[in-house]
Structures are given as structure tokens and as C-alpha cells.
């Protein structure tokens, strides 16, 4: 049986986090396995994700045990937040990660950031950024276009 609605994975993650932080490692390990078998989500026992965490669809979610994320992280299915060369990402508050996206390595993702579906993030993203593509490029900061996209706002330049 698979429950791909993310609510079950969120609840199991919170129960696992409680067990992990309160000296119940066997229960935490069992809940970790339950999340994989029920929701096809792999969320490390030590993953430190703040309040307001929402998983829209749990299938294919993979989050490293050493990841830190702030409040209101929202992720779609097939999102990976993982290690590269033993370094893991740190995420700010109010981050949205679209379906199929991967964030790897010791990158810092700012607050109020949107990462488009199927993006690959291997560099830091500033506060307010919208990042798209492989590798991800910042196309907006605080809703204003940046980079090559900015030319669309000033076609005479």
C-alpha cells in the first residue's frame, strides 16, 4: 500500500522527530521505515525542519538526516535535499521546492525562495529568489527579474 498524499508523511516525520529527540531510537527507526513503505518518502531521522513543513505528495521525497530548514518549507514529490562531499543544504524560512527538484551540497538557500520544478540547485540562493533550471539560475529576486531575464523589462537597453 502507498499513501502518496503528503499529510501522512508529515505526521510520521513529526512523530519520528519526537522519538529521535527524546531517546526512542528504535521507535524513530520504525517510523523512518514506515514513511518509506507507506509514503515512499525517505526523511532522515535527524532532519531538522521547522514548523509549517508541508509535503504535498510524498512519493520520491528524499531528505538527508543533517538537513536544517526553517519555517514553512513546502515541497512537492520527487524532491531531493541531500549531501554532496559530506556537506548538506541549509534552508531559510518560506521555501517552496517544485516537483522533481534536487538541492545538494553545502548550499545556503535564503528565505522566501521558490525553486521551479525539475531544477538542480548546487549554489547558494539569496533571499526572495526564484530559481529555475539545471543548473538552477536565479530569474527573479523579490519579484524583479534578474540576469538575462531582466532584459525583458528594459528592451531598449
Binding residues vs ligand COA (CB under 6 A):
76, 96, 98-99, 114, 116-117, 130, 132-133, 139-140, 143, 145, 149, 152
On whether the CB atoms of residues 103 and 97 are closer than 8 A, the answer is yes
Instruction: Take residue 64 and report the three cell numbers written for it.
Output: 538527508
CB of residue 22 to ligand COA, shortest distance in Å: 34
CB of residue 119 to ligand COA, shortest distance in Å: 7
On whether the CB atoms of residues 91 and 105 are closer than 8 A, the answer is no
**Of 65 and 118, which has the nearer Cβ to ligand COA?**
118
CB of residue 49 to ligand COA, shortest distance in Å: 18
Instruction: Take residue 117 and report the three cell numbers written for it.
Output: 520544478
CB of residue 36 to ligand COA, shortest distance in Å: 20
**Of 31 and 81, which has the nearer Cβ to ligand COA?**
81
**Of 17 and 92, which has the nearer Cβ to ligand COA?**
92
Q: Check the CA dihedral 77-81-83-84 and report its sign.
A: positive
Instruction: Take residue 68 and report the three cell numbers written for it.
Output: 536544517
Backbone angles phi, psi at 40, to 5 degrees: 55, 35
Q: Which residues pair with 116 in a beta bridge?
A: none
**Of 11 and 99, which has the nearer Cβ to ligand COA?**
99
Amino acid at each position: 500500500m502507498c499513501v502518496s498524499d503528503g499529510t501522512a508523511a508529515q505526521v510520521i516525520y513529526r512523530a519520528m522527530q519526537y522519538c529521535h529527540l527524546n531517546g526512542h531510537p528504535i521507535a524513530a527507526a520504525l517510523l523512518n521505515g514506515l514513511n518509506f513503505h507507506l509514503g515512499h518518502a525517505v526523511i532522515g531521522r535527524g532532519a531538522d525542519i521547522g514548523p509549517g513543513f508541508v509535503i504535498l505528495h510524498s512519493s520520491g521525497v528524499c531528505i538527508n538526516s543533517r538537513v536544517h530548514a526553517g519555517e514553512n518549507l513546502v515541497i512537492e514529490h520527487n524532491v531531493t535535499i541531500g549531501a554532496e562531499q559530506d556537506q548538506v543544504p541549509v534552508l531559510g524560512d518560506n521555501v517552496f521546492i517544485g516537483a522533481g527538484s534536487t538541492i545538494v551540497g553545502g548550499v545556503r538557500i535564503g528565505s522566501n525562495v521558490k525553486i521551479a520544478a525539475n531544477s538542480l540547485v548546487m549554489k547558494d540562493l539569496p533571499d526572495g529568489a526564484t530559481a529555475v533550471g539545471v543548473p538552477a539560475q536565479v530569474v527573479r529576486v523579490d519579484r524583479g527579474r534578474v540576469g538575462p531575464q531582466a532584459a525583458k523589462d528594459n528592451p531598449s537597453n
